[in-house]
Amino acid sequence: MPIIKLDAIDSTNTFLKDMISAQKVENFTVVMAKYQTNGKGQMGASWASEASKNLMFSVFVDVSKIALEYPFYISMATALAIQRSLNTLEIPQLFIKWPNDILSQNKKICGVLIENVMKEGKIKASVIGIGLNVNQMLFQGLPNAASLQTLTGRVFDNNAILNSIISNLKYYIETLQEGNFSALKAEYESYLFRKDKPSTFKDVAGNLFSGYIKSVKPSGELQIVLEGNITKAFALKDVTLMY
């Protein structure tokens, strides 16, 4: 896989999208940076990181040959690839916090931003941005953040983790190509943070409510069992799962 290494960039996702617009890009091309000046997360959130301490990269994935009805399967595949790689490193108490944050011991260690490339109304490719806290020790003003080193006391090799994540991402993309959507969804839900546990959520108006996470729809909506045993589906923009 081609790997482009940069010292500093505004956003690896933006850099890779510009590449796609200008030239043909090989499948699973990776752009990684020691430092991002404008790293992005879900819903426009920023992603802060110390230079050279963490793993910040974007990967181009050609999904044109997948019969993909729901783009959220790409998100599930990505989260599972990261989860599997971190499992091999014996990172404790790993969970996927909907839609695709990775938690360890209830602390956020990884975020994902996926931007899809559309053509004639269909997804042809995805630019998958991943920010993984690896060796950073301090997270000022971020009480729910941690890194692999703060959790384990060990120093990790960024390049080795990158290679592992890409290898596992290829595996799960192949799973989608083979049409094993239900198996992938079941595995994703098995790691879902707070599944079947009483949890607190916040709606767009800022109101808090209680419920149980039941499952995730193929469309990506979170199915929550509310008071009175009523199940309601929520889109990402409509609800936040509190820690």
For residue range 158-211, what is the model confidence (pLDDT) as tens digits?
A: 999 999 999 999 999 999 999 999 999 999 999 999 999 999 999 999 999 999
CA-CA distance, 60 to 68, in Å (whole number)? Answer: 17
Beta bridge partners of 123: 118
What confidence score (pLDDT) does residue 10 get? 87
Architecture of domain 3-190: 2-Layer Sandwich (3.30)
Instruction: For the chain, state the CA radius of gyration.
Output: 18
pLDDT < 50: residue spans in the chain:
41-47
- CATH 2.30.30 matches 198-241: yes
What confidence score (pLDDT) does residue 52 get? 77
Residue spans per domain, the chain = 3-190, 198-241
Residue with tokens 């020790």: 137
Residue with tokens 């499992």: 87
pTM reported for the whole predicted model: 0.92
CA-CA distance, 196 to 142, in Å (whole number)? Answer: 27
Q: How many Cβ atoms sit within 10 Å of the Cβ of residue 233? A: 16
What confidence score (pLDDT) does residue 49 get? 59
